[in-house]
Structure 1
Amino acid sequence: MTVTVGVLALQGDVREHVHALTAVGATAVPVRRESELDAVDALVLPGGESTTMDKLLRAFDLFEPVRTRLRGGMPAYGSCAGMILLADRVLGSIEGQQTLGGVDVTVRRNAFGRQVESFETDLDIEGVDGSVHGVFIRAPWVEEVGPAATVLGRVESGPAAGRIVAVRQGALLVTSFHPEVTGDTRVHQLFVQIVRDTL
């Protein structure tokens, strides 16, 4: 079954997500307006800057349409800033910042530090065979997971050992890291399978 996955194209790693989704057999299209959102089966919210993406969602009149689709059961995957947008609760947010919500987690913005403290590490992600190389760039982490959500992965070593960096709740998937920049498409394959299982 071919699925059409939109990539929110307001800011961030749009091209990289489109490429990864196409590589795993999905039809991937950029989404900048409500009519484009209406035509997709699922949505990817890429990395970028979460406060800017929140403002752009509202400026493009997409905030409420996306939230309505999410509440209606549309599958979505958020990486880095996308994780923050899909979280129900955010620590370290700026005044007025809103999230779309949907995943019963509390995330901390920029938890791993500033740009110069970006790092890479191998991760075990439930649902993905073999280790995944995680790239963390000004990334959030999950501080609290509610009963509706399931932890899929944690940092295994170093100062951030034990920190939660991948969570799933139903048809919603979030990661702190950026699989779209590594050339490894297995996280996108997992998401596309979630989409197929949901339709």
Structure 2
Amino acid sequence: MTTIGVLALQGDVREHLLALASTDALARPIRRPAELDDVDALVIPGGESTTMSKLVGEFELYEPIRKRIADGMPVYGSCAGMIMLATEVLDGRPDQRGFDGIEMTVRRNAFGRQVDSFEAPVEIVGVPGPRFDAVFIRAPWVERVGDGVRVLGRVTEGPAADRIVAVRQGNLLATAFHPELTGDLRVHQYFVDMVRDATA
């Protein structure tokens, strides 16, 4: 069975664990470097990116996760997880660190503060069915992508129309929104299928 870890330091850990379990993957919380050895892939959940960055350092997870990413481990980041995977972050703290996985520039809190949270339809390339009802909470958006990055989703209507909110680079996937809060498992299933293809 495919085993996927969820970085369990802060954020929507429980929701991702439940969503992954509903796709028939084995989901495990990850808090220590040694626990990474037992998973095929990793989810970096939504939460607060500066707090998450600090905790990743305190739990000595930066280098182990970076190494697994360099070795090809599939990783999915949602919201704060997208920020953690970006090579460049705008409006972040000067001491904020990430995993430099996806060649993209992400603007932190681009859609506004907590009170500006909203839902918007997003069509995601490779995810069948109707447009995804995406939940954005203090969400980032992507301002620039590198040559190797595929844009999978943009906001389709409203004042944020055409903003990039879903990307993929190799085995790395990121969304600005929170599919774990919707009950719609299609993004998680897409990632599980990515993992199975990468580990076949």
TM-score by length of structure 2 reads 0.98
Q: Mark the runs of 5 or more structure 1 residues left unpaired by the alignment.
A: none
Q: Structure 2 CA distance, aligned partners of 1:167 and 1:45?
A: 15
The Cα shift of 1:27 comes to 0.3
Q: Structure 1 CA distance, aligned partners of 2:49 and 2:70?
A: 20
Contact 2:8–2:30 (Cα < 8 Å) also in 1: yes
Contact 2:17–2:27 (Cα < 8 Å) also in 1: yes
Query: Which residue number in structure 1 is paired with residue 150 of structure 2?
Result: 150
Spell out structure 1 runs of 4+ moving beyond 3 A: none
Alignment of 1:11 onto 2:10: yes
Residues 71-103 of structure 1, C-alpha deviations (whole Å, 9 max, x = no match): 111000000000000011111111111111110
Q: Structure 1 CA distance, aligned partners of 2:145 and 2:60?
A: 30
Q: Secondary structure at the match of 1:188?
A: helix
Q: Structure 2 CA distance, aligned partners of 1:30 and 1:143?
A: 31
Look up the equivalent residue of 1:82 and give its one-letter code. Answer: G
Look up the equivalent residue of 2:194 and give its one-letter code. Answer: I
- How many residues matched? 198
TM-score by length of structure 1 reads 0.98
Q: Secondary structure at the match of 1:124?
A: strand
Q: Mark the runs of 5 or more structure 2 residues left unpaired by the alignment.
A: none
Percent of pairs with identical residues: 64
Alignment of 1:53 onto 2:52: yes
Query: Which residue number in structure 2 is paired with residue 138 of structure 1?
Result: 138
Residues 54-83 of structure 1, C-alpha deviations (whole Å, 9 max, x = no match): 100010011111111111110000000000
Query: Which residue number in structure 2 is paired with residue 67 of structure 1?
Result: 66
Q: Structure 1 CA distance, aligned partners of 2:79 and 2:12?
A: 10
Alignment of 1:110 onto 2:82: no
Q: Structure 2 CA distance, aligned partners of 1:50 and 1:17?
A: 17
Q: Structure 2 CA distance, aligned partners of 1:177 and 1:30?
A: 21
Query: Which residue number in structure 1 is paired with residue 83 of structure 2?
Result: 84
Look up the equivalent residue of 1:185 and give its one-letter code. Answer: L
The Cα shift of 1:37 comes to 1.0
